[in-house]
Amino acid sequence: MRDDLAFAVWSRERQQRIEAVLAQLLPSEAAPSPRLAAAMRYAVLGGGKRVRPLLAYAAGEFASADPAAVDSRAAAVEFIHAYSLIHDDLPCMDDDALRRGKPTVHVAFDVATALLAGDALQSLAFEALNGAFPPGAHACRVLAQAAGHAGMAGGQQLDLDATGAALDLEALMRLHALKTGALIRAAVRLGAACGRPLADAEAHALDAFADAAGLAFQVVDDVLDVEGSAATLGKTAGKDAAQDKATFVTLLGLASAKRHAHALHENARAALAPLGGAARRLSEIADWIVLRTH
Amino acid sequence: MRDDLAFAVWSRERQQRIEAVLAQLLPSEAAPSPRLAAAMRYAVLGGGKRVRPLLAYAAGEFASADPAAVDSRAAAVEFIHAYSLIHDDLPCMDDDALRRGKPTVHVAFDVATALLAGDALQSLAFEALNGAFPPGAHACRVLAQAAGHAGMAGGQQLDLDATGAALDLEALMRLHALKTGALIRAAVRLGAACGRPLADAEAHALDAFADAAGLAFQVVDDVLDVEGSAATLGKTAGKDAAQDKATFVTLLGLASAKRHAHALHENARAALAPLGGAARRLSEIADWIVLRTH
């Protein structure tokens, strides 16, 4: 099979797999509040590229882990991601009405329910971790740090603090290393931790890969925000400019931002080079992240 | 020393202890976003009765645990509680301007920062768990379930769903068993799990105690909302009535609500009776909860 075809089959299979895992872990209509359960399911299911779960599965494969061992951790990371999107879209944050081609949760339900659905999804992430094999306090710490004040939430606050302010490239990269990078790094670490013990050099290589791929992902996001349409993106296009936010495009210009994405892509691939063929899926995910159109 | 004096000394000592633990675990000004760190510290420190940490320490004492082993778990529960207060006070929820005698977080900072501070405090709770001894996946699950859709967040959604609707006593008790009861039960369980292994009968007795004490706490809260003033409560008084919320007072009337609190107090004490003198601090906390004036 051609390589790109093999990756398409692999990623489709893993996307279907994580969809089933997520659906299984989410509360059903029999939950104490059916409305809360419905909002949580609406936010998580039936959309999304599942980049973070794919990274967890691919890192698991690198460490010879069974995909079944990765399931709960991949789901935990996706629950954190989904909660962050709900809260990010709220009126007090980006005030966005469209996400994954559907009305955002606070539009489809209401603001208070969206707030609680995000809160409950964060709890569910840590609950899911516990069904993971191997279970463990280590995974709880890795995910909590990636999500918290020194990770994703800290990055979102930096983003907030910077609205309307002039950021330089270094500050913007630091912001995104937290806002999106921390959780991507956690996805790779949590997946890899399901397999054989890694040598330090392997663990460092995976971290370096995740950091470069995470930043590349964000730069491409900024490019697509300018070049894409709501129809292809599934979310409001052009909103960075409308909100007067510093992005890689506003700082570097469109052409230079694309070159920056290309360079980060090369860094991600270079980080994997010493790891050999076992890291192939990770490399293919990086290709897919950079070459995507939405 | 007189018993009530001994309890006052014990609880003051534990309150000072948890204050130091919380301050230590919270991010400092050196955090990625000093503003987020400041909002988190503002929300957690310098106020609050620390009922849940006291319950964790008291349950730990029952199981012969060293207080040092309980510290991180007691803090984790308090972080969850503090996050829930921030989000509960937001304009889209109760829209409250006063908490613990100070402006609420979204008033002192802004709504988006308050949202993120709550989010980051939930993450910090799970990060704190990991510093606990014994560490463990078990604690992560207990706390996540207590906080999530089948616990505190689920109860808050039920509260939301019920605004303006007629609830009967059974439904109101179910709501509060989730909204406040689940986390109180978790505080007792997490504290007790730091000590010797418990017999099933002991674990059940502690759960029964926590359930009764948790409900008593809520009934007394409802009574104080009617009888108290903002000056003694440190939060807006009379807000339940203003928001047309079903409370134990609106359902039962003031006198009957007080009798209900008294009965729950008796249930809580009765649950502890078979456990003997080692459960004395738990019993004293129940007394304090019911007899408090704020």
pLDDT tens per residue across span B214-262: 999 999 999 998 887 666 666 666 666 667 778 999 999 999 999 999 9
Which tokens hold the place of A269?
């691939």
Of the pLDDT bands very low, low, confident and very high (cuts 50, 70, 90), residue B29 is confident
- The pLDDT assigned to A132 comes to 61
Yes or no: say if B78 and B209 are a contact pair by the CB < 8 Å rule.
no
Burial class of residue B57 in the structure, from the number of CB atoms within 10 Å of its CB (0-12 exposed, 13-18 middle, 19+ buried): buried
B143 CB contacts (<8 Å, ≥6 apart)?
Answer: A126, B76, B77, B80, B125, B126, B129, B186, B190
State the ipTM, two decimals. 0.94
Backbone φ and ψ for A101, nearest 5 degrees, come out as 75, 10
- The pLDDT assigned to A7 comes to 95
Instruction: State which residue of chain B sits closest to A171, comparing Cα positions.
Output: B32
Average pLDDT over residues B61-73: 95
- The pLDDT assigned to A153 comes to 98
Nearest to B146 by CA among B81, B82, B216: B81
Nearest to B156 by CA among B236, B245, B42, B75: B245
- The pLDDT assigned to B242 comes to 67
Of the pLDDT bands very low, low, confident and very high (cuts 50, 70, 90), residue B137 is confident
Chain B residue numbers with beta carbons less than 8 Å from the beta carbon of A144 are 123-127, 129-130
Backbone φ and ψ for A164, nearest 5 degrees, come out as 85, -10
Which tokens hold the place of A228?
């894409």
Chain B residue numbers with beta carbons less than 8 Å from the beta carbon of A112 are 92-93, 160
Q: What is the distance between the alpha carbons of residues A97 and B222, in angstroms, rounded to a whole number?
A: 37
Nearest to B114 by CA among B122, B123, B105: B105
What chain A holds in terms of domains, given with CATH numbers, is 3-291 (1.10.600.10)
CB contact under 8 A, A122 and B119: yes
Residues in chain A: 294
CB atoms closer than 10 angstroms to residue B221: 20
Q: What is the distance between the alpha carbons of residues A199 and A207, in angstroms, rounded to a whole number?
A: 13
Rounded to the nearest angstrom, the minimum Cα separation between A274 and chain B is 32
Whether the per-residue pLDDT at B5 is higher than 70: the answer is yes
Instruction: State which residue of chain B sits closest to A89, comparing Cα positions.
Output: B112
CB contact under 8 A, A32 and B119: no
CB contact under 8 A, A144 and B127: yes
Yes or no: say if A249 and A222 are a contact pair by the CB < 8 Å rule.
yes
Q: Model's pTM, two decimal places?
A: 0.95
Residue in B32, B141, B157 nearest the CB of A130: B141
Nearest to A62 by CA among A180, A187, A183: A187
* Residue pointed to by tokens 């738990």: B282
**Secondary structure of residue B99 in the 3-state scheme:** strand
Rounded to the nearest angstrom, the minimum Cα separation between B68 and chain A is 18
Nearest to A57 by CA among A123, A13, A4, A100: A13
Chain A residue numbers with beta carbons less than 8 Å from the beta carbon of B162 are none
A–B CB contacts, 8 A cutoff, strictly below: 181
- The pLDDT assigned to A1 comes to 65
Rounded to the nearest angstrom, the minimum Cα separation between B224 and chain A is 26
% of chain B surpassing 90 pLDDT: 81
CB atoms closer than 10 angstroms to residue A255: 10
Q: What is the distance between the alpha carbons of residues A151 and B123, in angstroms, rounded to a whole number?
A: 10
- The pLDDT assigned to B164 comes to 76
- The pLDDT assigned to B18 comes to 98
CB contact under 8 A, A154 and B32: yes
Of the pLDDT bands very low, low, confident and very high (cuts 50, 70, 90), residue B25 is very high
Which tokens hold the place of B164?
């303006």
Yes or no: say if B105 and B91 are a contact pair by the CB < 8 Å rule.
no
CA A69 to chain centre: 20
- The pLDDT assigned to B64 comes to 97
B197 CB contacts (<8 Å, ≥6 apart)?
Answer: none
**Helices (DSSP H) in B26-151: which residue ranges?**
34-44, 51-62, 67-89, 105-108, 111-129, 137-147
- The pLDDT assigned to A229 comes to 65
Q: What is the distance between the alpha carbons of residues B208 and B142, in angstroms, rounded to a whole number?
A: 16
CB contact under 8 A, A122 and B127: no
Nearest to A173 by CA among A137, A117, A214: A214
Q: What is the distance between the alpha carbons of residues A42 and A47, in angstroms, rounded to a whole number?
A: 9
Yes or no: say if A39 and A109 are a contact pair by the CB < 8 Å rule.
yes
Which tokens hold the place of A101?
């081609």
Rounded to the nearest angstrom, the minimum Cα separation between A181 and chain B is 14
Whether the per-residue pLDDT at B136 is higher than 80: the answer is no
Nearest to A285 by CA among A60, A88, A99: A60
Task: Give mean pLDDT in consecutive 10-residue pieces for chain A, a chain of 294 residues.
Answer: 85 97 95 96 92 98 95 97 98 93 96 98 94 72 96 96 86 95 98 95 98 96 84 66 80 94 96 96 95 78
Nearest to A198 by CA among A113, A288, A278: A278
Kindly report whether the peptide bond that precedes residue A197 is cis, defined as omega within 30 degrees of 0.
no
Nearest to B209 by CA among B257, B149, B274, B140: B274
Beta bridge partners of B98: B103
A277 CB contacts (<8 Å, ≥6 apart)?
Answer: none
Question: Between β-strands B102-103 and B98-99, what pairing exists: parallel, antiparallel or unpaired?
Answer: antiparallel
**Secondary structure of residue A67 in the 3-state scheme:** helix
- The pLDDT assigned to B244 comes to 72
Q: What is the distance between the alpha carbons of residues B124 and B263, in angstroms, rounded to a whole number?
A: 37
- Calculate ∠ Cα A264-A268-A274, nearest 5°: 145
